Each structure stands twice: as structure tokens, then as C-alpha cells.
Amino acid sequence: MNGVRAIVRDERGVAVVLGLVALLALTALVLAFLGMSAFEPQISANLVAASQARYLAEAGIEAAFDGLALNADWNTALTGATCSTGVVAPGTTQNSTLPGLTSASGSYTVLVRNDCFGGNASISADTVITGLAALDASPTIETNSRLMLVSTGTIGNATRTIKVVVKKIQLPTLNGALTFPGLNSDIDFSGSSFTIRGQDTNVDLSNGPAAPVYGIAVGDNSNSNLSNVRTALANNQQNSVSGKDASDDPSPPNTFTNGVRTAAGDYAAAFDNTLTSQAITDFVNAVKGSADLTVNAPKPSGGGAAVSLQNIGNSCASSLTDSNCWGTDANPKIVYVKGNTTTDPSTEYTAVKLTGSSSGTGILIIENGSFEVEGSFTWKGPIVVQGNNVKLRYAGGGDKNMFGSVIVNELVPNGSTNLEAEISGNAKIFYSTEALAIAMNGIGGRRLMSLYNWQEQ
């Protein structure tokens, strides 16, 4: 018995066993560490390649964005595309490489397609990413100013794909040479030497190719706006307004049994709500942030015009960047006059007044203030006067030629307290698709485009 106890208590050799166990454990840890160390470079390389592939895909989006910016007609970019499979985007090629680098540094391929995947179903891939309830129906005809870009960057065995929506800021469809889509359209016409012409007119005064629009279009008739315009036109003044005939106007609710006709048989003014106040507001909000020139016109405390300017445009020949240059045909500008109604929002005031001999080309926006023109003035492109208690006033001497379309969008109901337009003298407003194209296409490009809903796949 004592012998057994002696054997059990004998600790000789235990240290060897424990040493062997510790050695085995350390050996396993070392092997695991060495194994992980061997994989670490590969893991790091994979992470680097994945990041590079994503950057390549982003570069592809930028290149395609520039390509679309140079392409005024997006339908040409969709030739051959289907709703699920696009075509190589303009400005890129299959497996494009970065400038100055070879394919060893990676490549990208960008496909463009229309937002029609899933048709007009209430839920589809394109519905979710565009945020639109209705998608385009055709793979090659773009109608809602949105396209899909799918860019895949590749380097080695790593690939990353990015999908994004491209949105183009479009001028809403215009329905008149002079249009009042807002809540009021109280007008004072003085004399009969003015001209408001809805027939498409080129800047050289020849007839343009587009179908005519109304001379004066009223978009909201809740305050008897149409009758207000017609009442303001005396018999001799009706002949100064021409445009689309009422037989082309949708009916109902438009009835013109007692409508005013010019001598040529066209209606002087018509109700047509295809151009909405909200559409103009959305356009202004989308464009004004990209203005080339912003004129701050806070309401003056002592009356008079907030900003008085003279001979706008005379400086363009020497400096296109001058603040008195409001754009040329070759370099149209977005000019935004920012009014301020916080002092007394219940009454109108003149945000900017032009005198002398002025000219410009582009998009002219006057918000929350009136626009007053005296002297000579020539503008090519859309003019939008919108906001609270706004007014367009053409008065005084000199020729005033507005080619494009003039929109006065009143956002607050004011009855007949304030006028939305005063037109007198030798003022001429011509609907002109040529002038609109000069302005919109010349500005165009990246300033009238945006990306949203960036998704990485």
C-alpha cells in the first residue's frame, strides 16, 4: 500500500510532460500566426483591389455624366438599348481605362438605359431607385428626364458595380408667349403698339418651325383670371395678341363661346392648365442654385427700386464674367434676382429696374419682387417672375423684344390689389423655340443635370 502511495506521489517526469504540452500549444499558436500572416497580404490585396474597382466605377459614372451633358438629345444615347440591358454610355467605351494608364491599372464599362425596367408596375427595380410612380414605357424614348447609369469597375479579379439615376432639369412645356400659371393674372394694357405673339418666331423675326401656342395663357381660372385678361384687352388691343386658335384647345373645361378673337381668328387669351404653378416653382428651385449671377434685391425701406441697372450687356464684349454681362448667344447665363418680402409681404415692390439699352441671353429669374423694364431691352430665353406679389412691367420708350417665353407665377392670392403685369409702349413678346434652344442648350451640360440614389452592388 505504501508502495502505491509512493508511486502516486512521485512527481519525477511531470515537468517533461507539461513542457511538451506547452510546446505543442505554442507550436499551434505559431503555426496559426504564420498561417494568418501568409493570408494577410492576400486579404489586404483584395481590399485594395475592391477599393480600386469601386473608384474605377465612380470614374465611369463621371465620364458618362460628362458624355450625357454634351448630348442634348438623350434618345440618341439609347439607340439599341433594352429596358434591362443598356448600351455603352456616350463619352465612354467598353473597358475604358483611366487617362494616361493602361488596362493593368484597371478599367470600367458604363451602360446607359432608360428607366423602364419593370414597365409601369407599381413596384419595380426602377420605380424604387427613381422614386417615380410611373416609368418610361419605351427603352429608346426618354420622356421623364431620367436615365439609369450602371458602371462596373474591374481590376484583376475584383469588380464593383454602381447604379445611379441621372436627372436632367428641363424647362416645362410652355403653352403661351405670356403665361400666368399662378393664382392671379391681373393685367393693365396701355396703348396698342405692343405685340404678344404665340406663333413660333425666330430671332430674325421669321416664322419658326414649331406649332403655335397661345398668345396669353392662364393656368388657374379660380379667380376669374381669364375674364380679367380679356376684360383688360380693349378691342383694338386684341389685334396685338395672336397665337394658337381655340379649336386646338382641349375641351372641356375650356369653352370659348364668348371668347375674344383677333382679326386673324386666333384667341387673344385662353385657359390652359398644362403648365402648372408647381412645375414652374420646381424649375426655379432646381435652376437658381446653379446661377451664374445672383442679384440680391432686398426690399428698400424708402421705396423705389431695390436695384437699378443700366445698359446691361454692354460689358460682355470685354468680359463675359462681368456682373453687368447677362449672357450672350454663345455664352448664355442663368441670372437670378433674389427679392425679399420679409419687410411687408402683403405688397409688391420693384426688385430690379432696367433702363438704358440692355440685352442678355439665358434664363432670367426674378423671385419675390417685380421686374420693371424701361428703355430698350432684348432677351433670348425664358423669363420667369415668380413668388409673392410679383409683377412684370414694360414701360417707357425704347424697343423691348423678348424672344422665348415670359412666365409670371403669382404664389399668393391678392385679388386685384396688385397687378401681375403692366404692358405698354413698344413691348414685344415672341414665343420662340429658337431662343429657348439657344438658352437651354447653351447653358445645358452639368449645370442642368444631377445624380441621385447612388447604389453600390
Delimit the domains of the chain by residue range.
56-168, 176-443
Please give the pLDDT value at position 24: 83
User: Residue holding cell 446607359?
Assistant: 112
All three cell numbers of 114, joined, read 432608360
Residues 6 or more apart whose Cβ sits within 8 Å of residue 410: 180, 182, 183, 184, 185, 386, 389, 390, 420
**Weakest-pLDDT range from 58-62, 199-203, 267-271, 386-390:** 267-271
CB 281 within 8 A of CB 386: yes
pLDDT at 344 over 60: yes
Give yes or no for a contact between 323 and 293, defined as CB atoms under 8 angstroms apart.
yes
Sign of CA dihedral 334, 394, 183, 224: negative
Residue 238 makes CB contacts below 8 A (sequence gap 6+) with 260, 261, 262, 268
| Residue 153: predicted pLDDT | 97
pLDDT at 346: 67
For the chain, what is the mean pLDDT? 85
Greatest mean pLDDT range, 218-232, 337-351, 353-367: 353-367
Mean pLDDT of 124-147: 88
Query: Is residue 4 over pLDDT 60?
Result: no
Q: What percent of the chain has pLDDT over 70?
A: 86
* 20 alpha-carbon distance from chain centroid: 76
- Torsion over CA: 232, 236, 240, 244 (sign): positive
User: Which of 377, 360, 363, 362 shows the shortest CA–CA distance to 423?
Assistant: 377
pTM for the model stands at: 0.77
Cα–Cα distance measured from residue 185 to residue 219, given in angstroms and rounded to the nearest whole number: 9
* Buried/exposed 182-220: b ≥16 CB within 10 Å, e otherwise: bbbbbbebbeeebbbbbbbbebeeeebeeebbbbbbbbb
pLDDT of 230 strictly over 50: yes
What is the mean pLDDT of the segment spanning 87-102?
A: 94
Cα–Cα dist 345/418, whole Å: 12
pLDDT of 139: 93
Instruction: Report whether pLDDT(358) > 70.
Output: yes
Residue 248 confidence (pLDDT) above 50: no
Rounded Cα distance between 291 and 261, Å, is: 40
Distance between CA atoms of residues 33 and 36, nearest Å? 5
What's the rounded Cα separation, in Å, for the pair 280 and 48? 47
pLDDT at 261: 42
Per-residue confidence (pLDDT) for residue 252, from 0 to 100: 37
Is-cis flag, bond preceding 253, omega within 30? yes
